């Protein structure tokens, strides 16, 4: 485990078995909004979380692009419409 100070009992990481599955975005969002602040005040953890979320998103875009799906383009159009 790369952050032993964040997980003193060795559990609670992303790969821990859960009843419901989590996306990276939901997992890190919960960690950063946690009440004790041990995740949100650590810059190394913040940058690592941002890298993981963005790289997983880019991997999904690449997979959809290779398959020739238009889903990503529709999602980007929705984001552009919502941003306006």
| pLDDT tens by residue, 3-42 | 666 665 666 777 688 788 888 888 888 888 888 888 888 8
Percent of the chain with pLDDT over 70: 67
Task: Please report, for residues 16, 41, 81, the alpha-carbon distance to residue 11 in angstroms, rounded to integers and kept in the order given.
Answer: 7, 20, 40
Provide the pLDDT confidence category of residue 69 given band limits of 50, 70 and 90.
low
Structure tokens at 58: 């880019």
Name 15's Cβ contacts closer than 8 Å, sequence gap at least 6. Answer: none
Q: Are 24 and 14 in contact (CB under 8 A)?
A: yes
Q: Are 40 and 46 in contact (CB under 8 A)?
A: yes
Provide the pLDDT confidence category of residue 83 given band limits of 50, 70 and 90.
low
Look at residue 32 in the predicted model and tell me its pLDDT.
87
C-alpha–C-alpha distance, residues 19 and 14, integer Å? 13
Using the predicted structure, report yes or no on whether residue 1 has a pLDDT greater than 60: no
């Amino acid at each position: 485990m790369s952050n032993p100070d964040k997980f003193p009992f060795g559990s609670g990481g992303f790969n821990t078995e859960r009843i419901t599955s989590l996306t990276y975005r939901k997992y890190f969002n919960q960690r950063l909004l946690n009440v004790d602040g041990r995740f949100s005040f650590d810059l190394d953890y913040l940058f690592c979380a941002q890298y993981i979320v963005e790289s997983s998103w880019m991997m999904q875009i690449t997979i959809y692009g290779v398959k020739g799906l238009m889903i990503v383009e529709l999602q980007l159009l929705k984001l552009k419409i919502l941003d306006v």
